[in-house]
Amino acid sequence: SLFRDCCLFAPGMTRRYAFPWGENLAEEILLRWEGKKPEIALQSVHYALPRINLGSPTRFILPYGVRITSPQLPSDIDTLTFAAEIWNTGVQSAEDVRVSLYSDGEPVAQPQLLSKLPSGGKREMIFTSKQPLSAGEHHLTVRLDREDHTVTDTQRRIVLHEQSETVRIAQGPDLEFVPGSVTTNVPEEGIVARTSVIVRALLRNNGEVPARNVTIQLLVDDPTTGTEALMLNEERAMSIAELPPKEAVPVEVHWENCNDVGSPKAWLVVNRTRTQKETNYDNNVIAVPPFKVRQLGDFRVESLDVAPQECEQGSTVTVACAFSSDADIPRGPLDIEYGLRNPLTGLSRSEHDVIASVPPLTTSSLCYHLRYEPAFTEVFVNINSNRELEERDAGGDEQVTPIYPVLPLAERLSSEKTKLDLSSDFERTVAYNVELIPGGGVRLRDTFTSSSGMIPASPAWAVSDNCTQKVSPASDTDNLWTVAPWLIEASRLESCTPLKLRVPFECSPLIYSYDVYLHAVSSNNYKGGRVGKFTVAVGEGEPVSCDIRPDVRGVPVQRYYLGRFELQGCSVDLKIAQTTGSAVLIKGVEIVPTAGVVTSPVYEFPTSGGDLWLVRFLDNGGNATVAQYRVRYGNRSAKGIEWQEWKDAVKGEVHLPKKTEFMQWQAIMHPRQGLKPVLKQVVLEKMR
């Protein structure tokens, strides 16, 4: 017995046995095997062994033929590696034998020289194909030859051995989108800009071997040089790990930045960089069916009317609201939140209304009724409150109107009582830019905010006859400076004619200074990533440089502080000049009063009273008050409360006339050098 083995023989497994071999062995070998689990009966086979030919000095055999060792599944796109194990069964050593490999009679690889192979020796020869073999069956031949030394012709060779094998080469991957399979989720009337577009198609592998790590992209404007569309998770491509041969799989691409109005041109492209070798690249592109992208509309609260504004406990507040939609297609469902709140205390109570569909290019009116409680100081309406519907600009979605609690004084005043502290009502005041102090009192905040928020840019802002260059719709293309909704082309020096804007804003006669902010967007890339700056002048002030810093490029909206200015009238002038680097898109302006305003509830005096009252204000200025105070009073009429003009406090005091039925006070706090105004107490005193 030459060998004996016992093993677990898995499907497709091959085992090779080696054993000593010499002249004293028989002419053939007997192999026997049997198995269990499953049961295999004893089987035998006789195999003739190659014998040394004593009459021939050299004799060659290839016991395993020629085989393809790489890749495992050869196809017509692969460079192939072949192996052939050559045995010398002759009695002499073989020298200077040329070994060649042919496919269908044509050389496959460079011949190799077997310089020396001793008698009984073996050598594995490795060949690498010059180019892939075509798909189908091929006859591989290994030829061993040497020079014929008996003649002078050096080209004449003696063939020592030839052996042929038949191999099959599979067709390599061939990726194509199935014609006619591309669809989108876009309805017939089109979509609004910034809507996610879902593109679906079938991707098929026509080859006979798997395609691995297949990338799919959506190109816009051109199928080869176009812009890669943005997909889910801000990716620019999606990948399929493996696509089996002769199979088609569904592909779903989410186009997340379909923002340009019009009829976009887009193509699905597979294997764009050709990292996966294919037999055919011409079918890797398919066009997306055309569709229409409409202008993304805005919702805006146009008006908010509240009646009454002076509210008693348990009364009903009527809220009349008008909002507009400038989209040219129906949109919905639209969520509307409305209710009561108190910014000082954080209390809020709201309800929701849902409009299933908002008609295109319309202004709609709504009316709601709310039960009032004195803890609340403002009514608000917020449309698209859940932000489920995309908007071109989210500004203007909310409006707020103050309401004033009516607080009866009958129970708090008595005939014997000569003084009443109103400071306990501070938390029920209508207040801007102030905050409650723990333990009592209100003070000016460290930072200021605008009750109106950002004022969105409008075409009406442009001052006529000041633009000498062509004005066209907004764009953030490189080399262009954008001022919404105007576009001014930059010159070679990247400078442009200054643009003058007049922003409507009603300045309060009580507030003399304002902080001005510019809201703008800078383009994400400009000439290799270079950043830049632009300047803005407010009124007749000096220009302020707005630098586009690297850490803010691509952030949706940046807020640039332009400075603190003394403003009057009903408008603010801006002059925007010279930009370098990134394109700039002006979104709006924010004008923030640098003062705090506190307006009290409405106090109702007993109807039987005829006393004279004094309102006294106490703050952190001692005898000289540091804030401005005023009082108004009125009487009941058929239309409600008929108010007199506001009366300024003198040395922190205001006298009320006899038979006053209603009173309201107000404090205006401006920042002072080294002293922040704090209102400590408001006292109502009976005059003797």
Q: pLDDT tens digit string along 174-227?
A: 999 999 999 999 998 888 888 899 999 999 999 999 999 999 999 999 999 998
Closest CA to 212 of 239, 238, 241: 241
Measured on CA atoms in the order 142, 144, 145, 146, is the torsion positive or negative?
positive
Q: pLDDT tens digit string along 480-490?
A: 444 433 333 33
Written as one string, the DSSP assignment of 412-451 is T--TT--EEE-GGGGGGSEEESEEEPTTS-EEE-SS---S
> Among residues of the chain, what percentage have pLDDT more than 70?
83
Report d(CA 404, CA 312) in Å as an integer. Answer: 9
What does the pLDDT read at residue 467? 42
Are residues 448 and 515 in contact, defined by beta-carbon separation less than 8 angstroms?
yes
Q: Is the pLDDT of residue 59 over 90?
A: no
Considering only the top CATH level, what class is 409-447+595-688?
A: mainly beta
Are residues 145 and 97 in contact, defined by beta-carbon separation less than 8 angstroms?
yes
Q: Are strands 334-342 and 434-436 parallel, antiparallel or unpaired?
A: unpaired
The larger pLDDT score, comparing residue 190 to residue 271, is at 271
Q: What is the 3-state secondary structure (H, E, C) of 232-284?
A: HHHCCCEEEEEECCCCEEEEEEEECCCCCCECCCEEEEECCCCCCCCCCCCCC
Within the chain, all domains assigned CATH 2.60.120 are found at 409-447+595-688, 455-591
The larger pLDDT score, comparing residue 558 to residue 250, is at 250
First to last CA, the chain: 136
Report d(CA 28, CA 2) in Å as an integer. Answer: 12
> Among residues of the chain, what percentage have pLDDT more than 90?
47
3-class DSSP state of 61: strand
Report d(CA 454, CA 358) in Å as an integer. Answer: 25
What does the pLDDT read at residue 78? 92
Which region among 137-146, 287-296, 432-441, 505-514 has the lowest average model confidence (pLDDT)?
Answer: 505-514
The enclosing H or E element of 146 equals strand 136-147
What does the pLDDT read at residue 580? 58
Q: Is the pLDDT of residue 55 over 50?
A: no
Q: What mean pLDDT comes out for the span 34-54? A: 65
Architecture field, domain 300-405: Sandwich (2.60)
What does the pLDDT read at residue 489? 35
Within the chain, all domains assigned CATH 2.60.40.10 are found at 28-168, 175-294, 300-405
What does the pLDDT read at residue 508? 82
Q: Is the pLDDT of residue 553 over 80?
A: no
CATH of domain 28-168: 2.60.40.10
Q: What is the mean pLDDT of the chain?
A: 83
What does the pLDDT read at residue 326? 86
What does the pLDDT read at residue 180? 95
What does the pLDDT read at residue 567? 86
Q: Counting every residue, how long is the chain?
A: 688
Which region among 122-131, 139-148, 438-447 has the lowest average model confidence (pLDDT)?
Answer: 438-447
Q: pLDDT tens digit string along 338-382?
A: 999 999 999 999 999 999 999 988 999 999 999 999 999 999 999
Tell me the pLDDT band of 143, cut-offs 50, 70 and 90: very high
Q: pLDDT tens digit string along 669-683?
A: 988 777 788 999 999
The larger pLDDT score, comparing residue 583 to residue 421, is at 421
- Prediction pTM value: 0.60
- Degrees (nearest 5) of the Cα angle 230, 295, 481? 70
Q: pLDDT tens digit string along 226-267?
A: 989 999 888 999 999 999 999 999 999 999 988 888 899 999
Q: Is the pLDDT of residue 161 over 70?
A: yes
Q: Which CATH number is correct for 175-294, 3.40.718.10, 2.60.40.10, 3.30.460.80, 3.30.420.40?
A: 2.60.40.10
Tell me the pLDDT band of 278, cut-offs 50, 70 and 90: very high
Domain 455-591 has CATH 2.40.10: no
Q: What mean pLDDT comes out for the span 129-158? A: 86
Q: Is the pLDDT of residue 585 over 70?
A: no
What does the pLDDT read at residue 497? 62
Q: pLDDT tens digit string along 375-388?
A: 999 999 999 999 88
Q: Residue 30 carries which side chain, given as an amino acid letter? A: L
Q: pLDDT tens digit string along 448-476?
A: 887 667 887 777 777 753 443 433 334 43
Q: Is the pLDDT of residue 502 over 90?
A: no
